[in-house]
Amino acid sequence: MSNYAPSWLDRLNAEPENFARFVTRVPGVEPTTDRAAVIAALTPTHEQVLSEGGIAPKMLRRAQQVHGNKVALVGDIGCSFPVEGVDALYCGGKADCCLGIYVADCAAVWIYDTATGCRGLAHSGKLGTQQNIVGELLRSMRKTLGVQPENCVAVISPCIRPPHYEVDIPTAIRRQLENAGLSPDNIIDSGLDTAADLQTFYSYRIEKGKTGRMLALFGRKPE
């Protein structure tokens, strides 16, 4: 099994049905400024990771990621992917789909409702954080699926941080999650800086756009 289930995802993966992964830098894939080309080169590895959870590639649900604060409810069937104009996705607790977000300095934020099993995954970079994408995600999950923030666990992925960036993205995200009703004890920050470890991560800023993409995954293992 690949080493894409780090300890900072343990709170999510402790639930037997959960499949939470963070696919980091893939050896042998040449970074390029062509986002579509590099993602195509990374896709076989990403699909291999999905297969470890018994998840078929066709079940992957992705957002277009336009650095905004729009969110979308997805499921096993229904719409084309990536979902246009959104930066966060969520699904019900019984949905067999797997949510996916690409990042290369921005933060991915996993949200899991321990009471209902509902899952959310957000892309929160500088602009998305300024627009409170995680707050919008939690509001939508509450309105549509009855998710209560006090029952939720959130995890913040590796992302660019000071001193490599002038904005402290994870600190702002943590504050937004707390303001939305999450307990501080239920917010896990990986604490890792993508710009400080190019052996492990891609960094759009440090590599000046000639880089790859990490993939955050959050799904439910098929029964």
Query: Along the 223 residues of the chain, how does pLDDT read in single tens digits?
Result: 357 999 999 999 999 999 999 999 999 999 999 999 999 999 999 999 999 999 999 999 999 999 999 999 998 765 567 999 999 999 999 998 999 999 999 999 999 999 999 999 999 999 999 999 999 999 999 999 999 999 999 999 999 999 999 999 999 999 999 999 999 999 999 999 999 999 999 999 999 999 999 999 999 998 7
Residue 75 and residue 172: Cα distance in Å, rounded? 29
What the block records as the tokens of 141 is 């999950």
pLDDT reported for residue 80: 60
Contact assessment for residue 121 and residue 89, using Cβ atoms and an 8 Å cutoff: yes
- DSSP class of residue 76 equals S
Q: Which amino acid is at 31?
A: P
Q: Domains along the chain?
A: 7-220 (3.60.140.10)
User: If we measure between CA atoms, which residue out of 176, 197, 198 comes closest to residue 187?
Assistant: 176
Q: Which amino acid is at 197?
A: D
Q: What is the pTM of this model?
A: 0.96
Contact assessment for residue 199 and residue 163, using Cβ atoms and an 8 Å cutoff: no
Q: How many residues does the chain have?
A: 223
What the block records as the tokens of 220 is 């439910």
Q: Which amino acid is at 101?
A: I
